[in-house]
């Protein structure tokens, strides 16, 4: 197990370097960020040159990348154009997005798996059909439509929630945005659980367990669900990274100052330091989430072992 | 019973939360009794919040609340009036003696002296401080030493600035500039306290100024709480307890918050809501002229656009644009068709002259066709209007302009839009002189003077002359106007310079832009100044 983890961690290094290099090049190709800093007017050449020097933009790209990576390893992610260190931006953005992601993943787990179990055990019944229909609708409606509709109905028409989230972004305020963010994945989790459960229901070990005379809930939770959850866990694990990086739409609608917002701003202002910094951290999150998923397999199914 | 108590508890918590936000976080309000606090939408300032470094509206909004300069532009008329200046005297329009009023202090208690101004201006001009607005000091003698075009600076202070007493200093300019005192209302010219220089980081984290508001707390990227200053010595004391500026990721969300009653003031009504804003807000929707003019600029460095006879083509293009229809259908009358190259906010006395453009700005499709044919036709048979697609919904109007041109010329391919992904890339292509046809140009005035609408845009090699237009006659008339000591005569001379711009159609004026705002029922006396920024200190709550 220890060796497996070590090997996986080592494999992360090339992935990490490759991903950051790609992002770095992509942001650089977009053009000269200093040109946009002075608004609808040309920066005077002296100030522009000075700014370029300060942000290291006057050096060749490979040198910029090497300096950047060197700094990253010492924990220095550079400075955003508004003079704030990128680490400070991360410090304010990541906690918010992590809270949002937690809410979303909780929704996926609780609602998604519950609905999946319900429908999987009652295949073909009205419950199954109606849940399938609802998930189909959720999957086909874009997130920003659900988001804006919920915001308008709950926030403006009925006044149950505040349409925008305060800068502190407490858990309570994140329930609706979290639900919106989770909605599509939630539907997938439901469908995945349902199929996987329905498949395993007919397997030998379930029949044996039932034949042994075990109570039904024990058969379902201990034997059936545990094996059926493997694809679901894989999905949720990879989804954590996707939720954190892909929350741009939801964050914009509900005015959440998280990772999505910072990335959006960074791209608009062509701020290499911000974009690369945030993406670097997101890559790490993604890699770690994947590792965690692989480790969870062993817990769920003892037959899957890592030497 | 249990559910009931539970519900009650939730209601109490909600009420407490509401009360807390209503009094802006509660607690130490600094003892102000000027009234309640209002909340207003805000955007994250792009640059560090320093007076000479702020060149966009969002940062300027804050500076306008926490600072007062020598002059201040009247929120209604845009006229420059003395604020901290007791008197500004000159005999030759080149050397100015400025006397600062007595009794002004920064909110940390420090006195505002002549030195506070001179230090601030030297800081703003100095190359090593990277101030985006440094060029505002370019008229002052010694600027070329402090801010050379190339290489290192050879001086740290402007030789043209001299402190002559506690409250007096002199400014010597490199050329005659009669309207110079009227430019001093701009944010870049405000005084700075010693704290700014002594502990710069601390100042940036919580700016200290001499205006009617003080910064109580500032969380970058999300909120700034400003409170009315009790010991404010000026005549324009805040009529409310303070303002909470809240950063919104999207102005649609801000508008939704206003509708839900969580926000008091939105100073940028999203384009998508313009259709129903009247119904939603009624009288609480403001749509007033601002000093912003949209034009189409041309790349004169491109041989095809710089050659003789092209002025006819440009005039023809201008006549092919149906401004009335576009401002009505696309902008819902938040813009007004332009008929000169300035802005109505200047007023007749300030140099605005309605109809100066004449027929060239009227929709005349037949004449447009004739002029373009006479001028040798469109270069390459097609014009491409370049714009940035990331902000400001430019796509809609560019497409509309092209439609109008295509219709007028009876040619589907006469005009197409050419979107550029980001603003920074758009600006880069302009600075690199890569434009091959007309491009979007917007001009937001720095100060309400006709000079500001002409000189930076059309003077040879001026800072914002993006098309590199050049006319000896225009330059000459601007120089003459600047040398004129009598303001009325100076304005007249600037208008004569504007006539050169018109005769050559240096840039096609499109429309004057209005500022728009919406506010909640709690507020009254909401107004927008000529810069389309709300006049916060006059707003009353309740």
Kindly report, residue by residue over A31-56, the tens digit of the pLDDT. 677 877 777 777 778 888 888 888 88
Q: What is the 3-state secondary structure (H, E, C) of B234-261?
A: CCCCCCCCEEEEEECCCHHHHHHHHHHC
Give the E-state strand segments of A94-231 in sequence order.
Answer: none
Closest-CA residue to B160 (of B178, B146, B181)? B146
Q: Which chain B residues are within 8 Å of A38, Cβ to Cβ?
A: 55, 132, 427
Q: Which residues of chain B neighbour A253 with C-beta distances below 8 Å?
A: 250, 253
B354: which DSSP letter?
T
B485 min Cα distance to partner chain A (Å): 29
In order of B132, B149, B187, the CA distances from B49 in angstroms are 11, 25, 11
Q: B59, B224 in Cβ contact below 8 A?
A: no
Phi, psi at residue B207, to the nearest 5°? -60, 145
Give A13-23 pLDDT, tens digit per residue. Answer: 898 888 888 88
CB contact under 8 A, A82 and B249: no
Q: Which residues of B touch A92 (CB under 8 A)?
A: 219-222
Mutation site, B187, B255, B256, interface A, largest A CB count within 10 A: B256
Across the interface, whether the CB atoms of A39 and B130 are under 8 A apart is answered no
3-state secondary structure B52-82: HHCCCHHHHHHHHHHCCCCEEECCCCCCEEE
Instruction: Look at the block and give the residue holding tokens 């062993």.
Output: A298
Residue B378 corresponds to which tokens in the numbers above? 């469109």
Give the tens place of pLDDT for each residue, A197-250. 988 888 898 889 889 888 988 888 888 888 888 889 889 988 888 888 878 889
| Cα A75 from Cα B320, distance rounded (Å) | 58
B222 touches A: beta carbon within 8 Å: yes
Residue A58 — very low, low, confident or very high, per pLDDT cuts 50/70/90? confident
Contact B257 A30 (CB under 8 A): no
> A181: which 2 tokens?
């963010």
Per-block mean pLDDT, blocks of 10 residues, chain B (542 long): 39 39 37 73 89 88 94 89 93 92 94 95 92 89 90 90 95 90 92 95 93 93 92 92 92 91 90 87 92 93 86 93 93 92 91 92 93 89 90 87 93 92 85 90 89 93 89 94 88 94 94 93 92 93 87
Q: Which helix (H) or strand (E) holds B216?
A: strand B213-219
What residues of B are in contact with residue A86 (Cβ under 8 Å)? none
Distance from CA of A261 to the nearest CA of B (A): 7
Count H helices, E strands: chain A?
Answer: 15, 0
Is the Cβ of B407 closer than 8 Å to some Cβ of chain A? no
Length of chain A counted residue by residue: 307
Length of chain B, please? 542
**Separation between Cα atoms, residue B444 and residue B64, nearest integer Å:** 16
Q: Kindly give, in sequence order, each residue whose CB lies less than 8 Å from that of residue A237, ignoring residues fewer than 6 positions away.
A: A289, A290, A292, A293, A296
Alpha-carbon distances of A43 from A47, A270, B431, B463, rounded to whole Å: 7, 16, 9, 8
Q: What is the pLDDT of residues A70-107, one digit of tens each?
A: 888 888 888 888 888 899 899 989 999 999 999 999 99
Q: Check: CB of residue B246 under 8 Å from CB of residue B266.
A: no
Longest dimension (CA), chain B: 89
Report the SS3 class of residue B284: helix
Any idea what the Cα angle at residue B140 is, between residues B135 and B144, rounded to 5°? Answer: 65
Using DSSP bridges, classify how beta strands B415-420 and B383-388 pair: parallel, antiparallel or unpaired.
parallel
Q: Which of A50, A53, A80, A82 to mutate to test the interface with B (most CBs of B within 10 A)?
A: A82
pTM (two decimals): 0.85
**Minimum Cα–Cα distance from B424: chain A residue:** A36
Instruction: Taking the CA atoms of B59, B273, B256 and B27 in sequence, report the sign of the dihedral they define.
Output: positive
Summarize pLDDT for A144-168 with one digit per residue, the tens. 899 999 998 998 888 888 888 888 8
Mutation target among A29, A32, A46 for the B interface, most CBs of B within 10 A: A46
Is B223 part of the contact surface with chain A (CB cutoff 8 Å)? yes
pLDDT tens-place string over residues A121-135:
888 889 889 999 999
Q: Measured between alpha carbons, how far apart are the two ends of chain B, in Å?
A: 38
Report the alpha-carbon distance of residue B69 to residue A144 in Å, rounded. 45
Instruction: Verify whether the Cβ–Cβ distance B463 to A264 is below 8 Å.
Output: no
Q: What is the rounded CA–CA span in Å between residue B141 and residue B172? A: 6
Q: What is the ipTM of this complex?
A: 0.84
Asked whether the beta carbons of B120 and B191 are under 8 A apart, the reply is yes
pLDDT band at A266 (very low <50, low <70, confident <90, very high): confident
3-class secondary structure per residue, B172-184: EECCCCCCHHHHC
CB B67 within 8 A of CB B211: yes
pLDDT of residue A307: 53
Residue B288: phi, psi to the nearest 5?
A: -125, 150
Please give the C-alpha separations between residue B263 and each of A19, A273, B49, in angstroms, as whole numbers.
41, 33, 24
Say what the pLDDT of residue A25 is: 86
Measured CA to CA, the distance from residue A8 to residue A11 in angstroms comes to 5
Beta bridge partners, B218, equal B224
d(CA B246, CA A150): 22
Find which of A28, A29, A33, A41 to mutate to test the B interface (most B CBs within 10 Å of its CB). Answer: A41
Taking the C-alpha atoms of residue B160 and residue A106, their distance in angstroms, rounded to an integer, is: 66
Q: Which residue has the tokens 């995945």?
A: A192
d(CA A201, CA B476): 91
């Amino acid at each position: 197990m220890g060796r497996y983890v070590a090997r996986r961690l080592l494999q992360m290094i090339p992935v990490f370097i490759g991903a950051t290099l790609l992002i770095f090049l992509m942001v650089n190709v977009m053009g000269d960020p200093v040109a946009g800093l002075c608004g609808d007017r040309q920066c005077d050449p002296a100030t522009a040159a000075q700014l370029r020097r300060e942000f290291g933009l006057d050096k060749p790209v490979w040198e910029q990348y090497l300096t950047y990576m060197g700094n990253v390893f010492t924990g220095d992610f550079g400075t955003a154009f508004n003079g704030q260190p990128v680490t400070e931006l991360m410090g304010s953005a990541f906690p918010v997005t992590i809270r949002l992601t937690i809410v979303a993943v909780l929704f996926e787990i609780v609602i998604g798996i519950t609905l999946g179990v319900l429908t999987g055990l009652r295949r073909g019944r009205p419950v199954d059909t109606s849940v399938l229909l609802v998930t189909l609708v959720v999957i086909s409606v874009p997130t920003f439509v659900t988001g804006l509709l919920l915001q308008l109905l709950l926030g403006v028409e009925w006044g149950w929630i505040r349409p925008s989230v305060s800068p502190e972004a407490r858990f309570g305020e994140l329930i609706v945005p979290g639900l919106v963010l989770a909605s599509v994945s939630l539907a997938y989790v439901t469908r995945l659980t349902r199929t996987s459960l329905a498949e395993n229901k007919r397997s030998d070990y379930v029949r044996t367990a039932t034949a042994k005379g075990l109570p039904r809930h024990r058969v379902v939770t201990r034997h059936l669900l545990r094996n059926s959850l493997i694809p679901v866990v894989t999905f949720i694990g990879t989804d954590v990274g996707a939720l954190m990086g892909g929350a741009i739409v939801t964050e914009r609608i509900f005015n959440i100052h998280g990772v999505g917002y910072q990335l959006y701003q960074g791209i608009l202002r062509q701020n290499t330091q911000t974009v690369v910094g945030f993406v670097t951290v997101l890559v790490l999150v993604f890699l770690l989430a994947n590792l965690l998923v692989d480790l969870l397999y062993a817990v769920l199914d003892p037959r899957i072992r890592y030497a | 019973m249990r559910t009931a108590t539970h519900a009650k508890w939730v209601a109490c918590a909600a009420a407490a939360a509401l009360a807390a936000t209503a009094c802006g976080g509660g607690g130490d309000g600094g003892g102000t009794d000027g009234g309640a606090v209002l909340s207003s939408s805000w955007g994250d300032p792009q640059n560090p919040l320093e007076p000479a470094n702020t060149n966009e509206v969002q940062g300027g909004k804050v500076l306008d609340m926490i600072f007062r300069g020598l002059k201040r532009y009247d929120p209604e008329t845009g006229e420059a009036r003395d604020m901290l200046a007791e008197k500004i005297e000159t005999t030759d329009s080149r050397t100015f003696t400025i006397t600062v009023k007595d009794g002004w202090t920064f909110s940390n208690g420090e006195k505002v002296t002549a030195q506070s101004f001179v230090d601030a201006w030297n800081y703003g001009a100095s190359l090593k401080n990277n101030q985006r607005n440094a060029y505002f000091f370019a008229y002052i003698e010694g600027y070329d030493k402090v801010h050379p075009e190339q290489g290192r600076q050879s001086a740290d202070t402007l030789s043209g600035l001299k402190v002559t007493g506690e409250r007096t200093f002199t400014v010597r300019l490199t050329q005659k500039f009669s309207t110079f005192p009227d430019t001093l209302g701009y944010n870049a010219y405000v005084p700075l306290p010693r704290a700014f220089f002594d502990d710069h980081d601390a100042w940036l984290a919580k700016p200290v100024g001499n205006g009617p508001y003080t910064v109580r707390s500032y969380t970058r990227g999300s909120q700034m709480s400003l409170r009315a200053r009790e010991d404010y010595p000026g005549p324009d004391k805040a009529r409310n307890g303070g303002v909470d500026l809240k950063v919104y990721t999207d102005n649609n969300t801000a508008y939704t918050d206003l509708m839900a009653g969580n926000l008091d003031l939105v100073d940028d009504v999203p384009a998508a809501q313009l259709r129903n804003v009247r119904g939603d807000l009624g009288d609480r929707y403001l749509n007033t002229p601002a000093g912003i003019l949209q034009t189409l600029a041309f790349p004169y460095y491109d041989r095809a656009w710089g050659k003789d006879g092209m002025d006819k083509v440009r005039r023809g293009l201008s006549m092919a644009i149906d401004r009335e229809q576009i401002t009505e259908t696309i902008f819902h009358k938040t813009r007004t068709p332009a008929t000169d190259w300035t802005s109505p906010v200047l007023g007749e006395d300030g140099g605005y002259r309605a109809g100066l453009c004449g027929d060239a700005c009227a929709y005349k499709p037949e004449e447009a066709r004739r002029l373009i044919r006479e001028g040798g036709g469109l270069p390459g048979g097609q014009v491409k209007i370049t714009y940035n697609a990331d902000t400001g919904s430019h796509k809609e109007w560019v497409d509309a302009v092209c439609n109008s041109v295509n219709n007028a010329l009876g040619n589907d391919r006469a005009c197409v839009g050419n979107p550029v992904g980001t603003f920074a890339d758009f600006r880069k292509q302009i600075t690199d002189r890569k434009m091959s046809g007309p491009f979007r140009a917007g001009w937001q005035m720095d100060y309400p003077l006709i000079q500001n609408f002409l000189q930076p845009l059309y003077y040879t090699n001026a800072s914002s002359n993006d098309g590199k237009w050049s006319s000896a006659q225009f330059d000459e008339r601007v120089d003459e106007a600047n040398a004129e000591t009598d303001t009325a005569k100076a304005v007249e001379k600037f208008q004569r310079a504007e006539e050169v711009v018109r005769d050559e159609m240096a840039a096609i004026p499109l429309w004057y832009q209005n500022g728009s705002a919406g506010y909640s029922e709690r507020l009254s006396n909401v107004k927008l100044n000529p810069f389309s920024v709300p006049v916060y200190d006059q707003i009353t709550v309740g």
